[in-house]
Structure 1
Amino acid sequence: MQILVLILGIGLLPKACALKCFECPPELSGSCIQTTKECPSNTQCGSVRMTSYAGGSKMLDIKAKSCAAAEECVQASVNFGVSQTLLTSKCCTSNLCNSQDAPEASISSPNGKKCFQCDGNDCTKTVNCNGNEDHCISAAVTAGGQKVTFKGCASKLICSGMQSAQIPGIGGAKMSCCQGDLCNSGSSTTVGLLLFVTPLISLVLFS
């Protein structure tokens, strides 16, 4: 009888200990209808927020909630010079603890690293990287039958989540990262950044 109780206890233990979190798909504005989700082991409850700025104005403010791996509970950003997108997350380890939205991140100070950026048809200008942006990023996108390129700075999380990846919904979009000042050299044309930034971040965080 004791053996039967032990077997039943072992069988029921993972379910009893499963963490439940609020889940909310990425929303451009307002708040979504929260649902609950039973998360895989070794994950936490997380809230994430993506804020994009261009010309000193806020262009996007996207919020989401779900289960999160420990490596996703960090601050990150991608900086194309004329625009910057900041990610901030808030993680916790008790049932339904991610009821609050993640706080809005603030732009950090320059860290001394430089990368190439594109300004119109000129991709030889440079941008000062901020905060934990420790990689240079290059992204080639096919838009309207024309291949265009973005260049700038990115945090390790952005690069590790999309290295040599392809963005769904944008034809032939491929990204690569490198370390070292001005390692993303080359020249090409550029296109509207919002076409590119949102699916890039979604690929990293919500896939």
Structure 2
Amino acid sequence: MDLQISVFLLFILFTAGHSLSCYECRSSLGSCAFQEKKTCPSESLYCVSTTGVVQIGGIKTVNKFKGCEADCQSGSTNIGYSKMTLSCCNTDLCNAQDAPDPNTNVPNGKKCFSCDEKSCSNTLSCLGTEDRCFKATGENLEKDLTTVGGLSVVSKGCISKNICDVTAAGTLIPNVKDFSCCEGNMCNGAQSVSQSFLFLCCSLLSYFLLQ
């Protein structure tokens, strides 16, 4: 019995002072080739890797982020021409691999409404683990010069349940409000015109790249 107690106390002593280590990278060039090791703050419990792809016309931008997070869930978001995958893990340096390119995900049969600069009644085919539709409103990242505090914007698309849960709880993207998810096909409503149809994914990217 004394031996068991001693082993338990040693375990507590060694783990109490341990801080998670993760790879860190912020890149808008599509590569994390120069990632560095980082000791995370005590409140960070996860290593994260994200890949965000925005493609409008013939212009494609790939953003990468790796680092430490207090809360994290693996999955993906999709509003059509802007997509993001997140990979989360909780052991030292477990985020060595980049999150997969979201364009490699295959359609899963689910469909949701999405927005462009004219309408929020477009039909979007969900990919991979995106088993929910979402609707989000918030403040435009690009401020209107005549509007103090920016514009009220709407975004709709497909999302994985894991990411939906933490976003709805307000732990993933602080500036998103009135965020909701639903399970049925096209359940996120066709009404409303989006003033900033890249809102959600830009908010995600900005949260990770600029924090």
2:180 aligned residue (173, 176, 186): 176
Alignment of 1:116-155 (within 5 A): 116-143=113-140, 144=144, 145=147, 146-155=151-160
Cα 1:115–1:20 shift into 2, 3 Å: closer
Query: Structure 1 unaligned runs (5+)?
Result: none
Cα 1:97–1:19 shift into 2, 3 Å: farther
**As a proportion of its length, which structure holds more strand?**
1
Cα 1:13–1:201 shift into 2, 3 Å: same
- TM-score for both structures, normalised by structure 1: 0.69
Partner amino acid, structure 1, of 2:76: S
2:87 aligned residue (89, 92, 99): 89
CA RMSD across the alignment: 4.0
Cα 1:111–1:33 shift into 2, 3 Å: closer
2: CA distance, partners of 1:15 / 1:182: 47
Q: Tell which has more relative contact order, 1 or 2 (C-alpha 8 A, sep 6+).
A: 2
Say whether residues 1:52 and 2:50 are aligned partners: no
* Partner of residue 9, structure 1: 10
Partner amino acid, structure 1, of 2:83: T
- TM-score for both structures, normalised by structure 2: 0.68
CA displacement at 1:101 relative to structure 2: 4.0
* Partner of residue 166, structure 2: 161
2: CA distance, partners of 1:108 / 1:85: 10
1: CA distance, partners of 2:12 / 2:129: 43
1: CA distance, partners of 2:69 / 2:116: 38
Cα 1:98–1:50 shift into 2, 3 Å: closer
Say whether residues 1:111 and 2:113 are aligned partners: no
Cα 1:149–1:33 shift into 2, 3 Å: same
> Percent identity between the aligned chains?
28
Please say if residues 162 and 203 of structure 1, whose CA atoms lie closer than 8 Å, have aligned partners that are also in contact.
no
Runs of 4 or more above 6 Å deviation = none
Q: State which drifts further: 186-195 or 124-133.
A: 186-195
